[in-house]
Chain A
Amino acid sequence: MNRLGKILLVEDDHRDVELTMLALRECRLVNEVVEVNDGSDALDFLFCRGAFEDRDPENPAVVLLDLKMPKVGGLQVLKEIRESQDLKRIPIVILTSSRQETDLIRSYDLGVNAYVVKPVEFGEFMEAVKQLGIFWAIINEPPPRG
């Protein structure tokens, strides 16, 4: 079982943040959800630097990662995570509007653990996020602490 690690939500669109947070709240996860709004903040959080220098250094149980973001995009974040000795095993789920083949290929090449296209219909969107939350925060066995 999971040790109730954090869920890191990386999403620049505040409307998507609100809908995603709502879905995660509705599945009553006890895991803390940390929200950052662009790729560079995500990297600061993961590498415990900048505004996140003093955070509890445990890696999140899963990162829900948007692709199209200003400054540092999702693929770049994914790449840096996979290149880091300390972070490379963190489960990463791409949560995006893009079904573009190049995005899918790049993501899988970079070692993503799941790729989910945000459903347009509200009920389906909520259901998808809830399933992701429950699976990665509760059912999935995380990598052992380094």
Chain B
Amino acid sequence: MQEELEDYREGLERLVRERTAQLEEANRELEAFSYSVSHDLRAPLRHINGFVSLLQRHSSGFDKESQRYVEIISSSTSRMGRTELMKKRIDVDLLVKRVIAEISEPEDSSKIAWNLERLPEVEADSGMLRLVFVNLISNAMKYSRKRPDPEIWIAHERKDGEDVFSVKDNGVGFDMSYKGRLFGVFQRLHRQDEFEGVGIGLANVRRIIMRHGGKVWAEGEAGKGATFYFSLPSQESERKHE
């Protein structure tokens, strides 16, 4: 009996070691993959950025519209290439309205009922915070698209020295038992033919918010919609730490 237990325990330990090794291997592969993706993107990005900047040196001869195109290319590439946080005061209200205007198709805007609370100003990297809202809002739109009466709520609450933002929809929702997987890289809870996507949006949201010193979480129920929350340390509490 004692011996059997001992064997059993050893078997389990071996299994744990094997699984840990497999996980570590998978993690290394993922890191190598994301490294090579970012490396492969950096060179062409540098070239676009470089030659657009050179083009801008000649832009006095361009008409207004061409100048505007060149400016758009230039600002988009610099938005892509940046990796360090550049924090400044941002009017989140304006940012969210712009994001909605940018990502909605004409047929969405008439169909979706938007409930927007007045949102405050925060201290954050505007390009990154914009990405967070693009991801959360386009997810809300995507997963409520099949409802006859899609509705999206965007709200804010100041709580325990933090600004908590939420994006809620009445779409397909998710089973709370999967909530741990929502923010993982390449994790998807829906089939590709149901809802398109590669599964890195929420992982990016999590990384961006963590780099700002905040948290992300979600609540949902299958068939009844989902709410995604993120918090940012508010300015008052940051000042106390300084």
Contact = CB atoms under 8 A, between A and B. Distances in A.
Contacts of B42: 97, 118, 120
B38 to A, nearest CB: 9
A13 B43 contact: yes
Contacts of B49: 120-122, 125
B142 to A, nearest CB: 30
Interface string B63-92: 000000000000000100110000000000
Interface residues of B, number: 16
Contact of B50 (A97, A98, A122): A122
B39 interface: yes
A15 B44 CA distance: 9
B114 interface: no
A47 to B, nearest CB: 29
Contact of B47 (A15, A22, A100): A15
A19 interface: yes
B28 interface: no
Contact of A98 (B39, B53, B54): B39
B186 interface: no
B45 A120 contact: yes
A146 interface: no
Contact of A125 (B35, B39, B46, B82): B46
Contacts of B217: none
Interface of A: 13, 15-16, 19, 22, 97-98, 100, 118-123, 125
Interface of B: 35, 39, 42-43, 45-47, 49-54, 78, 81-82
